[in-house]
Amino acid sequence: EARRADVLASIIKTSDDAIFSKTLDGTITSWNAGAERLYGYAAPEVLGRSVSLLIPPGQAGELDSILERLRRGEHVDHYETERVRKDGSRVNVSLTVSPVEGEGGRVVGASVIARDITGRLRAEAERARLLGQERRLRAEAEEASRLKDEFLATVSHELRTPLTAIQGWALLLNSGQLDDAAARRAAAVIERNARAQKQIINDLLDVSRFISGKMRLEVERVALGRVVAEAVEAVRLAAQAKGIEIEGPGADQPDVHVSGDPDRLQQIVWNLLTNAVKFTPQGGRVAVALTERDGHAEISVSDTGCGIAPDFLPYVFDRFRQADGSTTREHGGLGLGLAIVRHLVELHGGTVRAESEGSGSGCVFTVRLPLLRDAERGLRIDEGKDGGRIDEGYEIRNPSPAFLSGLRVLVVDDDAETLALLRTMLAGRGAEVSAASSAGEALAALERDGADVLVSDIGMPGGDGYELIRRVRAGEAAAGLPAARRVPALALTAYARAEDSVRALAEGFQAHLAKPVEPAELWRAVARLGRGLGV
């Protein structure tokens, strides 16, 4: 009997759990090392005292109900609650309380086993948090994926719409059924729709540049008046077609100068104007104003159109956001224009805001850009006429038919139609054009006849444009040609991302243009390369 008691005592003593006993009125009668570790009290400090010292204030009722159950001979199993340690800190415990019987089977007290479950509860809370987070992220991912699907559907719709017109009119042109006037109209429709499509693709690329932080500005001193006037000119036709007059800033007002990228600034105004025209009904009014206000240039574009509902107003500048994203909407677009506007304005250190009294009452978009500092203005004002746009001499709108005369251009493209188009464009301005449809043919032609400028596609079966230029440069190096006598080369590709351009230059091209290329851009690039100016 005595040995059995010794064994039990030793088990209790070495147990990790806190084990103690108490009388039915709650007086502590034994206290093991585990209890000391858990609660911080040594045995002499608690023996003879009431367990209520372990109970947090306000939970005394809990002790009463446990004692009550014990008196009835009941067990309390894995009861999870909170207790107070000697240092006042709280600990989460799981309690198992069993009645202890004395002589005659009468309940005389209770044993308590308490286990610290703080770690377990913390792990459970952490798991619940992770689960919640996982659910939230999954919901976000699902929403993103839904938006992406919706976006792809919109993109393909927006790309198809102009394509339908292009294909239809091209078929009619080909059938030979159109008289001269109709054929000219058909060609104009095709051109306009191709431009619209290019615009969509450019917007997509711009957005991808923003996202990857690769948008670069070519900053110079810019006269905003001219930027605004050019943007107005660019949308005037579309506006007139809807019977909308655009009121621009008067020609007599003093010009406002900022530091920025003229093309991007024009894109900002153009986007706002296109929207104003798009969302304003027949016969409405669109006005652009340019003013100077507290150190800033302010461009405001207002319209008398459909306006923007207050609940949509905070989101107008978000990517892919449109007041009406449904398939039945009456206006096309990808919902990127304003996101591009905001990003470009911010890159210029400015702000843009939208105001509208609500649906039906038109709206006003205001762009604020920091003015060029006076000192800077004084310094730069003498440089060239009009602020010295570097490429002023090459801003060509209608170059003479002999613009490229005397230049021998070798054009390389595996697509016969593109080759024919490039040949026609270049020959139309006087260049002497020869054509090759593969890298191999091009190398042979260069060896045989040489060229003043090489214009090459990149993606071609057999050897691509990169390989071509590598072999050309290797041949020139082997022949010991000085840099000035190496053939200047222009890469022309449908890959229009910044990294494509960087790669083309790294491989040995001097310039890179994205397809579809504007004739004027091509002429300008070929002229500069052919005259040793670089692009």
Q: How far is the CB of 270 from ligand ADP (least distance, A)?
A: 11
Q: How many residues bind ligand ADP (CB under 6 A)?
A: 20
Q: How far is the CB of 204 from ligand ADP (least distance, A)?
A: 11
Q: How far is the CB of 358 from ligand ADP (least distance, A)?
A: 11
For 70, list phi and psi in degrees, rounded to 5: -60, -40
Q: Which residue in 318, 314, 290, 319 sits closest to 302, CA to CA?
A: 290
Secondary structure letter of residue 392 according to DSSP: G
- E strands, 326-371, are 351-356, 363-370
Q: Do residues 29 and 21 make contact, with C-beta atoms less than 8 angstroms apart?
A: yes
Place of tokens 């009290």: 41
Q: How far is the CB of 458 from ligand ADP (least distance, A)?
A: 30
Q: In angstroms, rounded to a whole number, what is the distance separating the alpha carbons of residues 478 and 473?
A: 9
**Residue of closest CB approach to ligand ADP:** 333
Q: How far is the CB of 164 from ligand ADP (least distance, A)?
A: 19
Q: Is 428 in the site for ligand ADP (CB under 6 A)?
A: no
Q: Is 333 in the site for ligand ADP (CB under 6 A)?
A: yes
Cis peptide, bond prior to residue 254, ω within 30 of zero: no
- Residue whose CB is less far from ligand ADP, 189 or 338: 338
Alpha-carbon torsion (477, 481, 484, 488), positive or negative: negative
Subset of residues 287 to 326 that bind ligand ADP, contact rule: CB under 6 A: 303, 305-308, 316, 321-323
Q: In angstroms, rounded to a whole number, what is the distance separating the alpha carbons of residues 293 and 367?
A: 12
Q: How far is the CB of 439 from ligand ADP (least distance, A)?
A: 40
Q: Is 507 in the site for ligand ADP (CB under 6 A)?
A: no
Subset of residues 351 to 390 that bind ligand ADP, contact rule: CB under 6 A: 363
Structure-block tokens of residue 124: 């459970």
Choose, by CB under 6 A, the member of 26, 109, 335, 508 that binds ligand ADP: 335
Q: Do residues 291 and 301 make contact, with C-beta atoms less than 8 angstroms apart?
A: no
Q: Is 338 in the site for ligand ADP (CB under 6 A)?
A: yes
Choose, by CB under 6 A, the member of 189, 334, 517, 522 that binds ligand ADP: 334
Q: Is 162 in the site for ligand ADP (CB under 6 A)?
A: no
- Residue whose CB is less far from ligand ADP, 296 or 321: 321
- Residue whose CB is less far from ligand ADP, 321 or 473: 321
Within 10 angstroms of residue 228's Cβ, the number of other Cβ atoms is: 24
- Residue whose CB is less far from ligand ADP, 224 or 339: 339
Burial of 483 (0-12, 13-18, 19+ CB in 10 A): exposed
What mask, x for binding ligand ADP by CB under 6 A, covers residues 430 to 449? --------------------
HSE-up of residue 144 (Cα within 13 Å, Cβ side):
6
What mask, x for binding ligand ADP by CB under 6 A, covers residues 254 to 293? ---------------------xx--x--------------
The H or E element that residue 529 is part of is helix 519-530
Q: Do residues 22 and 55 make contact, with C-beta atoms less than 8 angstroms apart?
A: no
Contacts with ligand ADP by CB under 6 A lie at: 275-276, 279, 303, 305-308, 316, 321-323, 333-339, 363
